Amino acid sequence: MSSQPSERLIVALDVASYDAARGLVESLSPYAGWFKIGSVLFTREGPRVCEVVKRAGAKLFLDLKFHDIPNTVRGAVKNALAIGADMMTLHASGGTTMLGAARETVESSNRSDAILVAVTVLTHLSEAEWNATFGHKGMVEDTVVSLARMARSAGMNGVVASAKELPAIKRALGRECIVVTPGIRLPESGADDQTRVVTPGQAVRDGADFLVVGRPIIAALDPVAACREVVARMGA
């Protein structure tokens, strides 16, 4: 994995149209190595919006959080690879059989370098809401580490997890476990609808391998300047 901050920055294309996504990719691709396409943009524009990222020479993080029976996930992963996904997400709660099916699909393709990351606990969930929703009486961090350990055993390259839980994951699973960290905000930014957030510099110091940044860049008055600031703070 590259040590260059720009190659570890994933800009979230949390926009509603092909044209908006294309404009951001064209302006930001000199400064960010990755772009994330999630369910809102993908369900509106389909695979053609993924082509925008690939044409720019950037890498594609397809964040559709696959969570289904193993055979369905096999087909979804195969299709994701075909449209150029360099990284993709699956819900860790799908279990070892589902995650293993995804790994087998990647290994049997000509895209064995594709990165599979499991989603642990969504970053909008506070500890209180997590416990109330799932009937737990514990810390989110414990659940995240447990899911991360299971995901690694099933063949995932790593996990998506808040930087708040990042140190615990690295302690438990070591440096080889890739951690993709959303919920990144500049010091002057608000938390929006996420509760477990952190600054770029702190996330890198804690061991994050990739940082996902959306609104602080794409909603800025000058997205290019904001993107460059995030990269600078990652390397500080």
pLDDT interval class at 2 (50, 70, 90): low
Tell me whether strands 210-213 and 87-91 are parallel, antiparallel or unpaired: unpaired
Known catalytic residue at 65: yes
With a cut of 60, say whether residue 62 has pLDDT above it. yes
Range from 20-29, 70-79, 189-198 carrying the lowest mean pLDDT: 189-198
Query: Which amino acid, one-letter code, is at 44?
Result: R
Distances (CA, A) of 35 to 85, 95, 211, 220: 10, 27, 11, 17
CATH number of this structure's domain 5-235: 3.20.20.70
Q: Which residue in 58, 59, 8 sits closest to 201, CA to CA?
A: 8
Annotated catalytic residue, options 36, 54, 59, 65: 65
pTM above 0.95, yes or no: no
- pLDDT, tens digit (0-9, with 9 covering 90-100), for 68-82: 999 999 999 999 999
Q: How far apart are CA 231 and CA 32, in angstroms?
A: 8
Q: How far apart are CA 135 and CA 72, in angstroms?
A: 29
Q: Share the mean pLDDT of the chain.
A: 91
